[in-house]
Amino acid sequence: MGVGIFYLLKKKTFLPLFMTQFLGAFNDNAFKLAMLTLISYFLSASQVQSERYQVIAGALYIFPFFLLSATAGQLADKFDKARMARITKLFEVVLMAIGGLALYLGNIFMMMATLTGMGIHSTFFGPIKYAILPDHLLKPELLGATALIEGSTFLAILLGTTLGTLSVGGAGTGSLYAIIITCGAAVVGLIASCFIPPAPSTAVDLAVDWHLWRATRRMFKEVTCKERIMTAIFAISWFWLIGSVVLTKLPDYTNYVLRANTSVFATFLALFSIGIALGSLVISKLLTGKVLWRYVPHSLFLLSLFACDIYWATPVTSVDIPLQSLREFFSQLSHLRITIDLFLLAFCGGLFVVPLYTYLQVTSDGWMRARTIASNNIFNALFMVAGALLVMVLLYFHLPIAQVFLILGLMNFCVAAALWFVLLT
């Protein structure tokens, strides 16, 4: 560990998985943003129609997590995880071929079907990418490996979001760059998955229950009886709720409250992703490979402070003033304070979540590790939906956007206090 955690990228037991998951996260977001950009700018007849398609797209992508996670966890526990990863990535290549045709034709139905397929792809690959790590790495290496995966995932999301948006100039030849990017990433991801070393199952006798609701209920029953694991799952899910609320409100906050243009919003997105990535790497360094919850409540308390400070630092701005450029925006001290708050909020999120993901890997029984991760994925999806509902409720009561950050900070403080009591007393 003397050379940090990046030595893991030289290991044949880690690099292929790292590349596979990075390209998968990239492709999910590149295709989704290419599709939504094409619909919004070139295929929709009105803003209302475009917004409706965006809501539908979000629902279609997340729905498979609720429906198929139990099946995905069972299959990952029963069969060789490396083999399952290759099958999943082959499915992605087929999806991107269909999605590329959909982008070229401007066929919204085909795009939505492809996005649903990408949700299915992520549902099945999610349990694999974390459950396979203990099969290939030593226990002291798991924290660093999880930090690299978690941090790189958010950088992949940022890169995919940016390139997906910029790669579309319309249906037909205007979508050519998007097609090349998404299909190319899928093919390279499949090639990378072929180099993942075998990870034989320790539950070969597991009988897969194809009854989706019954399998989900049984999986929950097996996981919820383990109090410490459930604490980690709820804490991780809270992280995703925070992220979903912040990213949902950030565009309107930048536009209507701060009166800044899209270059400032892009900068905020970059800083948010980089903050989580750096936090993920720093916590691995602080814990030196030990899977401890020592910094989890502390990170949440600090996150609350930065969320509340965004509210306190928000200036009163008239909606009549023109949108500020990047240079104009950062010439004001209060805006620098808000930017630092957002970055440190994300940084604390990275500090917070990596030990929890690693804890799930090392404490889950090997024969049902993937199902534990699958259960976590369902709770993550539930909390993200809860975050969306929270935003809708606050919007219904016409709360200013800055107050959303204050409420989030206060709620987060309560969660931090609860975790402090549960973990450290």
DSSP character string of 340-360: HHHHHHHHHHHHHHHHHHHHH
Pair (323, 192) in one structural domain? no
Pair (104, 239) in one structural domain? no
In this structure, what are the phi and psi dihedrals at residue 418, rounded to the nearest 5 degrees? -65, -45
Instruction: Report pLDDT for 47.
Output: 66
What is the count of structural domains for the chain? 2
Domain assignment of residue 160, yes or no? yes
Pair (158, 277) in one structural domain? no
> For the residues of 287-299, what is the DSSP string, one character each?
HTT----TTHHHH
Q: Binning pLDDT at 50, 70 and 90, where does residue 369 land? A: confident
Domain assignment of residue 213, yes or no? no
First to last CA, the chain: 31
Residue that finishes a domain, picked among 199, 218, 235: 199
Q: Binning pLDDT at 50, 70 and 90, where does residue 202 land? A: confident
Pair (119, 233) in one structural domain? no
Kindly tell me if the per-residue pLDDT of 195 is higher than 90: yes
How confident is the model over 18-30, as pLDDT tens digits? 999 999 999 999 9
> For the residues of 311-344, what is the DSSP string, one character each?
HHH-----TTSPPBPHHHHTTSHHHHHHHHHHHH
Instruction: Report pLDDT for 290.
Output: 82
Pair (141, 232) in one structural domain? no
CATH assignment at residue 340: 1.20.1250.20
Pair (233, 181) in one structural domain? no
Pair (40, 173) in one structural domain? yes
Domain assignment of residue 216, yes or no? no
Domain assignment of residue 400, yes or no? yes
Domain assignment of residue 76, yes or no? yes
Domain encompassing residue 24: 1-199
Pair (167, 262) in one structural domain? no
Looking at residue 301, its amino acid is F
Kindly tell me if the per-residue pLDDT of 318 is higher than 70: no
Instruction: Report pLDDT for 231.
Output: 92
Domain assignment of residue 204, yes or no? no
Crossing angle for the helix pair 262-287 and 227-252, nearest 10 degrees? 160
Q: Binning pLDDT at 50, 70 and 90, where does residue 422 land? A: confident
- With vertex at residue 269, the alpha carbon angle to CA 39 and CA 114, rounded to the nearest 5 degrees, is 35
Instruction: Report pLDDT for 425.
Output: 59
Pair (113, 161) in one structural domain? yes
Instruction: Report pLDDT for 3.
Output: 47
Q: How far is CA 369 from CA 131, 139, 169, 359, in A?
A: 6, 15, 44, 11
Domain assignment of residue 214, yes or no? no
Pair (235, 370) in one structural domain? yes
Domain assignment of residue 70, yes or no? yes
Pair (341, 236) in one structural domain? yes
State pTM to two decimals: 0.87
Kindly tell me if the per-residue pLDDT of 316 is higher than 90: no
Pair (258, 384) in one structural domain? yes
Instruction: Report pLDDT for 225.
Output: 84
CB 190 within 8 A of CB 86: yes
